[in-house]
Amino acid sequence: MARTSQNRSPAVMQQRSEPDDSLDFFPTPPWGTRALCEYLARQWNLENQTVWEPACGEGDMAQPLEEFFKAVIASDVFDYGFGMVFDFLLTQMLKPEFLNEQPDGMVDWVISNPPFRLAEDFVKEALEHVRVGVAMLVRSAFLESIDRHEDLFMKYRPYVILQFSERLPMVKGRLDKKASTATAYSWIVWTKRGLSEGSNSRCELEWIPPCRRTLERPDDYPAHPDDAPPPMPLFEKEAD
């Protein structure tokens, strides 16, 4: 049996850390974004609303957002060949043109899977630019930490935390249908209305029911050589 010295225990996998200069590019399987939109669509008319995906990578989250929203704006600090190139954390200093084109300089939603290391800054920045709300896909371990308790969750009370009951496998640098993961993920949603109620507002916890089978589409993933059918023999083997 092949052995590896790497410790792959869940406890260790939860602590995955990236170098400080890493872009932390972990594309989101599209079914994970559809699961969020299905939830939001129960309360909001997304087909009349605009959303900004400010860390869009290769567009694996922006594209399923297009299935639900009237308009999707996509940007990333790095040029992956999808969306605009823009450092989200500089938005207040360098307001992008599309925000100036909105009547009030805002979009309805900011939705993203931000780099883990910058996720708290992304949430705070995003809240400055929305009319309705912000949804961020994070490792569920993001809910822990003494600093975030004080600086984020007590000051900016989420409206709802949506915990995936099924694992959402993400791997560095590519979408992989066959990937597995020991890391738990959830969506955290903040609403402007909820925030206006202050730190006493209630934060709900909901579970996203298993949904991969219903929300996944065959063309969500790049063709993988292993997925190709085995080559057909050109000639039938003759009987001995």
CA 129 to mean position of chain CA atoms: 18
The position carrying tokens 């009951």 is 165
Q: Residue from 46, 76, 188, 191 that binds ligand SAM (CB under 6 A)?
A: 76
Q: Is 87 in the site for ligand SAM (CB under 6 A)?
A: yes
CB of 108 to ligand SAM, least distance (A): 18
Please say which residue, 135 or 194, places its beta carbon nearer to ligand SAM: 135
**185-191: strand order across its sheet:** 84-85, 71-76, 50-53, 107-112, 130-139, 185-191, 160-164, 204-208
CB of 230 to ligand SAM, least distance (A): 31
Q: Is 30 in the site for ligand SAM (CB under 6 A)?
A: no
Please say which residue, 60 or 108, places its beta carbon nearer to ligand SAM: 60
Contact 77, 57 (CB under 8 A): no
Please say which residue, 65 or 194, places its beta carbon nearer to ligand SAM: 65
How far apart CA 90 and CA 96 sit, in angstroms, is 10
Q: Is 24 in the site for ligand SAM (CB under 6 A)?
A: yes
139 bridge partner residues: 185
How far apart CA 73 and CA 27 sit, in angstroms, is 17
Task: Number of residues interacting with ligand SAM: please give it, by CB under 6 A.
Answer: 23
103-122: which residues touch ligand SAM (CB under 6 A)? 112-115, 118
How far apart CA 148 and CA 26 sit, in angstroms, is 22
* Pairing status of strand 84-85 against strand 160-164: unpaired
Q: Is 57 in the site for ligand SAM (CB under 6 A)?
A: yes
Name the site residues for ligand SAM (rule: CB under 6 A): 23-28, 54-57, 60-61, 76-78, 87-89, 112-115, 118
